[in-house]
Chain A
Amino acid sequence: MDRDALVSDIKKKLVSALNLQGMPEDSIGSDTPLFGDGGLGLDSVDALELVVMVENEYGVSVGDKDAASAVFASVNALADYIIANRK
């Protein structure tokens, strides 16, 4: 999967993992912050939910909680992490 396809695939899976039914996936900006204000406003439980999603869907493990904040900064950040770590 090339990078563009991966980015759009991640968005699709975010909609499902975060229960965003009804929200068009392209409305999630590739650089929109996933956590904190001004973005999707995800919280620490969502971060864990995404750890599970990334492991199941891409076979990539995120390791510990502290690493998660950088990996899940945005869809682009997550795509970079998956590309760098997938087998």
Chain B
Amino acid sequence: MTRRPTVVSCGLCCASGTGAGAAYRASFGPSGALFRELGGCGLFPLPRRASVRVGAACGFRSSRLPRCAQILFAALDEALADSPLEGIARDRIGVYAGTSVGGILESENALREILEGSENSDGAFKFYECSSVAELVAKKIGARGECSTFSTACSSSSLALESACLAISEGRADAAVVCGADTLSRITVDGFGSLMLLSKSDCRPFDAARDGINLGEAGGVMVLIAREFLGGRRAIAEFLSFGSTCDAYHATAPHPQGKGLEAAISLCLKSGSIEPSEVSYYCAHGTGTGANDSAELAALRAVFGEGAPPYSSLKSAFGHTLGASGILNAIVAAAALCDGVLPPSAGYSSGASPEPIVSPQKTAGKIALSASLGFGGNNSCAAIAKGESGPKSPAGASARRIFVYGAGGASANPDLSKPLSARSRAQLDSDSLLPDIPVLKKRKWAKLQRMFLSASRGALAAARGARLGERACVSCATGLGMASETQKFLESVLLKDSPLPTAFTNSVHNAPSSAVAEMFGCRGYNCATTAKEVSFEAALMEARARIRGGSCDSGIVAGGDECDFFAENYARRNPLPAGAGAFSDSCAAYFIGAEGACESAPAAEILALKIRRASKRAEDEEKRAIETLAEAGLSPSDVSAWFCPCRLGGAKGRTLEFLSGRFGGFEYLEDFAGRNYSASAFGILASLGRGAGIFAQYSLSSTSMAALTVWRVL
């Protein structure tokens, strides 16, 4: 109860300017009042395009920071104005960010320069990595706890919120700064354009005559604190529960009857012990496309029957702010509960059942739901209670043990027990992956998706009778996401002005996790985490939290990356340390679960997992590792082998060398699976088949995040 995640401050920067209060007031305006012509925003040239109206954030000019960080920092300044984190230990503050495309706008310019033949050296590609969003925020505020970025397209920041709340209720953090940010960019404008989903004028969510979306941009921040640390701070709202699911139905289209969203709303109500009649407001995803809105209406009818709560979409006020839309919804919904007036669904006139509210509506209610849907059939629903009013205690972490039942890999190294022979590049041939699956079935999966599918299939093969379905989650880690597809799409835009729709739908970071869900029928929580070299640990953390919390019983956890264009660029920015392994395409996957998740006996048990910012002093890192082992009842002498994903240069390299010396020698995973951001996914796989024993893995990222994982091979 005391660890209830409580909102103590908010910040929002969007089409209405900076200010959460201003945005709440603007949500009462007519549809499109804040929209302007994209061509007049000066963001990028728009050949041949007629009218594209967008909800742009104004007043930002080019600087060393990517536009998404500038917008987010404006929101962050607002949220931190009254020092809500004062008195909270820095290593107990986590940062959880959600973004669909991060700093892609700047990367697009860099790519254009390269395509035009000029050598780009300004490092703008580093902002392509979505993990830079959480990293920039953590650096700015000096947070030293967990730091993860979630990139599940339009539900990204909703997943970040859920993750932060779980971290607080599980006791992994005392406070969390949750962020959502996305800007306008070529990839999203031309991508949604290529799918013919952009509105010709101003969007009309839920209306019978709706014709698509207006894109927008936003940065949103919520500062959450465990209630026991509230002190004199005013509680704006509390999060009661979440429900996140995957349709496992199609790469882009939602399930036509909104089955996945229905399950998400039901799960959210059930896990928060909330009666449908207690819900006073449903803040809809409501993008204004035919498919989204009818799926959402079907879900509302299925969950609430005739008694649907008042609901509205904010997209006609701010545009669709993609990965930021979840936190924007949550901030406005919380403001509406506090103020007692619900914003109307601007632009709606007729045709929906149930109907949205069309004029401001007073409420004395205490609970609102906020919903998000994303590509890949991703659904998320949050229950928010006004002020400090949540009477029900959160589910909290259970003592459920977490086992690994099966492991699989996709690697250019045919025998992972032997060193990789390739010297510079160990690539996989996409056509040779999943050889038994007919071309017509696998044609839409690009290489990275095929790698995740192939590795996941290996993991499930070892887990006889694995029960999947709605209680199975998929948590996939990737440092660079669908880089090749992103490049392919951007080239189709920049070189030919002829955007390719499939490359766009395949460009999202959660394309692998949704493909895995669809292939194996995993309809529970589904996420894509990205956190440089500790991306896999972030994904494992999420799956473990879902299984421990009881919303899932099992899941597929995987980490994979390819070594193409964007990775090459990474190598140019980061000189490789001595002894570095070959860059590789690789993916490792595991089927994990609670006791009895499948008929096969477990192969390993996860004993400890901790992620936080590394100390500059190697001795401190040693001390912390020993402490984490001690929490699991172990000492360094119990560990039969230590893994480390990749060697690093400079001071971080010296930390690794020191620890390696203290712990009897690290085995570097890059020597076996090759080098990429997801090399850390291979540790558990490398330990299996070596006999029973305790294994540990110390992963250090190039941005100084440290993860320690300890497991027992059974």
The residues of A with any CB-CB pair to B shorter than 8 Å are 18-23, 40-41, 43-46, 48-49, 52, 55-56, 65
Contacts and interface: CB of A to CB of B under 8 A. Distances in A.
B253 A21 contact: no
B502 A56 contact: no
A19 B501 contact: no
Contact of A48 (B431, B444, B501): B501
A74 to B, nearest CB: 16
A55 B498 CA distance: 9
A56 B498 contact: yes
Nearest to B438: A23
B194 A52 contact: yes
B250 A40 contact: no
Interface band, chain B:
10 to 19
Given A20-B443, A48-B196, 19 more contacts: A19-B443, A20-B439, A21-B431, A22-B439, A41-B440, A45-B195, A45-B252, A45-B502, A45-B505, A48-B194, A48-B501, A49-B501, A52-B498, A52-B500, A52-B501, A55-B498, A56-B496, A56-B498, A65-B196
24 contacts: A20-B443, A21-B431, A21-B439, A21-B443, A22-B431, A22-B439, A40-B440, A43-B253, A44-B253, A45-B195, A45-B251, A45-B501, A45-B505, A48-B194, A48-B195, A48-B501, A49-B500, A49-B501, A49-B502, A52-B194, A52-B499, A56-B496, A56-B498, A65-B196
Nearest to B196: A65
A80 B114 CA distance: 41
Contacts of A45: 195, 251-252, 501-502, 505
Given A43-B250, A45-B252, A45-B505, A19 B500 contact: no
In the complex, the 3 A-B pairs of residues with the closest C-beta atoms, listed nearest first: A48-B501, A19-B443, A23-B439
Contacts of B444: 19
Contacts of A44: 253
B33 to A, nearest CB: 29
Interface in B487-506: 496, 498-502, 505
Contacts of A22: 431, 439
A52 B174 CA distance: 51
B443 A18 contact: yes
B502 A46 contact: yes
A55 B496 CA distance: 12
Chain A CB count within 10 A is highest, among B499, B500, B501, for B501
A58 to B, nearest CB: 13
A32 to B, nearest CB: 11
A41 B442 CA distance: 12
Q: Is the interface of B mostly helix, strand, loop or mixed?
A: loop
A20 B195 contact: no
Nearest to A55: B498
A61 B439 CA distance: 28
B364 to A, nearest CB: 44
Nearest to B499: A52
Contacts of A43: 250, 253
Interface string B434-474: 00000110011000000000000000000000000000000
A49 B489 CA distance: 12
B505 to A, nearest CB: 6
Contacts of B501: 45, 48-49, 52
B132 to A, nearest CB: 29
Nearest to B443: A19
Nearest to A65: B196
A23 B437 CA distance: 12
A17 to B, nearest CB: 9
A55 B500 CA distance: 12
Contacts of B499: 52
Contacts of B250: 43
Contacts of B440: 20, 23, 40-41
Nearest to B445: A19
Nearest to A46: B502
Nearest to A41: B440
Contacts of B439: 20-23
A53 to B, nearest CB: 9
B193 to A, nearest CB: 10
B440 to A, nearest CB: 6
A46 B440 CA distance: 12
Nearest to A47: B501
Contacts of A46: 502
A23 B501 CA distance: 22
Interface string B143-184: 000000000000000000000000000000000000000000
B252 to A, nearest CB: 6
A55 B492 CA distance: 13
A61 to B, nearest CB: 12
A69 to B, nearest CB: 14
Nearest to A21: B431
Contacts of B505: 45
A40 B441 CA distance: 9
A44 B500 CA distance: 13
Nearest to A18: B443
Contacts of B196: 48, 65
A55 B443 CA distance: 22
A12 to B, nearest CB: 15
A26 B252 CA distance: 30
A45 B443 CA distance: 13
Most buried by A among B253, B439, B496: B439
Interface string B190-203: 00001110000000
Contacts of B431: 21-22
Contacts of B253: 43-44
Q: A21, A45, A49, A65: which has the most chain B beta carbons within 10 Å?
A: A45
Contacts of A55: 498
A18 B502 CA distance: 9
Contacts of B500: 49, 52
Contacts of A49: 500-502
Contacts of A56: 496, 498
A19 B500 CA distance: 12
Contacts of B496: 56
Contacts of A48: 194-196, 501
A4 to B, nearest CB: 25
Nearest to B496: A56
A87 to B, nearest CB: 18
* Residue from B251, B496, B500 whose CB has the most chain A CB atoms within 10 Å: B500
A41 B346 CA distance: 38
B239 to A, nearest CB: 35
Interface string B407-442: 000000000000000000000000100000001100
A80 B500 CA distance: 24
Interface in B659-702: none
